[in-house]
Structure 1
Amino acid sequence: MRLAPLSVSAAEVTRFRTFGFVHLREVQDDVAPAITDAFEEVFAEVFAEVFENPSPAGREGGAGVSRIAERSEVLQEALLAEDRCPRLARRLLGTDVVYVGSAGVRHDGAVGWQREGGHRALRLIEIVQFLEPLSARTGALRIIPGTHRRGGSWDRFAAEMADPVRFLGMEPTEVPAFTIESAPGDLVAFDPYSYHASFGGAAGRRQITTTFASVPESDEARQELSDCLAADRSGLRDSARLSGF
């Protein structure tokens, strides 16, 4: 499988740094079918071995496999080769990066408003490929632009975002946000510290995420990276409630 290097424009880099995300359309069109097949092969193998059930899509809350990219030659080449997702991460973050891990997930139901981790010094980026076409009504990723910025006023709104009905008088689906409607050949790169959510999706919708971090430059950032790597080494996840993307 020979693939052209992934690249982003200067404008796309600026959009990522300004809003906390960028939508890269059709950059994986040529390998999307192979990625989907590889995803299914890994899930069948892992869940057949661990749970004696090769199809976990019906499990309430979803199911996931950590380090999925390392479990498939196709996924390694399409996602982890130096000119693929690592190149995007370096360009968008503007630094050398450390690979943190990957995950394949089948989602069931909504994912409420959240931001991942309390990483104050470490900068993370998640590069996601959704394996179904997704719209606002079918589980597309929603992000509140600009909420990736550390130390801003959004840092004081944790309670409001955790329970918008109580504190804002709004249903979670009514919270103003940008909805990233995507196709299987697209990639979405976002800072997981951004407030993000997903609503209305069908059971079993699939995604693959690769996560990278800026090379840490302080003791605090090095400790946060160590914590991230330790969490990723948890291996297989199969949860009644998968909390994030």
Structure 2
Amino acid sequence: MTEADVTYFRTFGFLHLRGIQTDAAPAIAEAFERVFAKELPLVGRQGRAGVTRIAERSDVLQETLLADSRCPLLARQLLGGDVAYVGGDGVRYDGATYWHRDGNHRALRLLKIVQYLEPLGPDTGALRFMPGTHRRGGSWDGFAPEMENPARHLGMEPAEVPCFIVESSPGDLIAFDPHSYHASFGGADNRCQITTTYAAVPESLEARRELSDYLLADRSVL
């Protein structure tokens, strides 16, 4: 990546990298289906069925997502130092995913890397971000009610909230700070997603405590 890429990520909270794993995309999709045929997915909120730590359940996914240098190097560059892999999911989605953040950590720095197994656009479930909302300790931290019910608080439907829509293809990587407000609308049933999540190696007691809490959290409800 360029220095401008890193600055873009730190400014807006996400980065779209096109075609990074195009060569591995067919093998990743095939391995995803094999894992889901073998494992019993955990059913979380409505429209979400997931297999936790999917990369460890397949030799192909272990090789392409963890042993291959692309995702770990991306995490080190964007988080600015040593990182630790802290898990990842394979997920099938039905319907919309409404505006939310993944957690509320003050000191722990995380990076989630997402890849979808089918092309997605504005009307077919592409991931949406509200740029800059990853920043901690500011006004966005108190904005949860508006995001949970935009129709009531902002007078607009969730899909009308101003945002950046990431149109992606298999092989693309979408890296984002999970504290960014993100959502997905208009997608067909059975959309397939793989995530890998990295944490910056904690440098404070608070960050170590938050990392411990993160690792012990029930991922099935996310």
Shorter-chain TM-score bucket reads: over 0.9
CA distance in 2, matches of 1:86, 1:100: 12
Match of 1:3 in 2: none
- Partner residue, 2:51: 65
Q: Which amino acid in 1 is paired with 2:100?
A: Q
Counterpart AA for 1:197: A
Alignment of 1:45-60 (within 5 A): 45-47=38-40
Paired with 1:30 and 1:163, the residues of 2 have a C-alpha distance of 41
Measure the CA separation in 2 of the matches of 1:74 and 1:185. Answer: 15
Name the CA distance, whole Å, in 2 between partners of 1:37 and 1:77: 14
Displacement of 1:77 in angstroms is 1.1
Equivalent of residue 16 in structure 1, options 9, 13, 32 = 9
Aligned to 1:140: 126
SS class of match (1:30): helix
The gaps in structure 2 that reach 5 residues or longer are none
Contact 1:62 1:204 in 2 (8 A): no
Deviation beyond 3 Å, 4+ runs, structure 1: none
Cα 1:152–1:108 shift into 2, 3 Å: same
1:43 aligned onto 2:36: yes
CA offsets per residue over residues 3-57 of structure 1, 9 Å max, x none? xxxxx2222111111100000001111010000000000000113xx89xxxx9x
One-letter code aligned to 1:14? T
CA RMSD of the aligned region, Å? 1.8
SS for the counterpart of 2:23 is: coil
2:176 maps to 190
Which of 19, 25, 28 aligns to 2:21? It is 28
Aligned to 2:146: 160
Identity of aligned residues (%): 67
Q: Match for residue 5 of structure 1?
A: none
Structure 1 pair 224–171 and aligned structure 2 pair: CA distance change class (3 A): same
User: Could you say what secondary structure the match of 1:202 adopts?
Assistant: coil
Other structure's SS at 2:124 match: coil
1:150 maps to what in 2? 136
Partner of 1:121: 107
1:93 shift after superposition: 0.7
Contact residue 124 and residue 211 of structure 1 kept, 8 A: yes
2:66 counterpart residue number: 80
2:11 counterpart letter in structure 1: T
Number of paired residues?
A: 221
SS in 1 for 2:22: coil
Deviations 1:123-149 (A, max 9, x none): 110000100100010000000000001
- Rounded Cα–Cα distance in structure 2 between residues aligned with 1:215 and 1:107: 31
Q: Quote the offset at 1:185 in angstroms.
A: 1.0
Counterpart residue identity of residue 36, structure 1: A
Q: CA deviation at 1:181?
A: 0.4
Maintained 8 Å contact 1:132/1:184:
yes
Distance (Å, rounded) in 1 between the aligned partners of 2:3 and 2:107 = 25
Q: Spell out, residue by residue over 1:96-148, the C-alpha distance to the aligned partner (whole angstroms, 9 max, x if none).
A: 11111010000001000001111000011000010010001000000000000
Letter in 1 for 2:128: R
| C-alpha distance in 1 between matches for 2:190 and 2:50 | 11
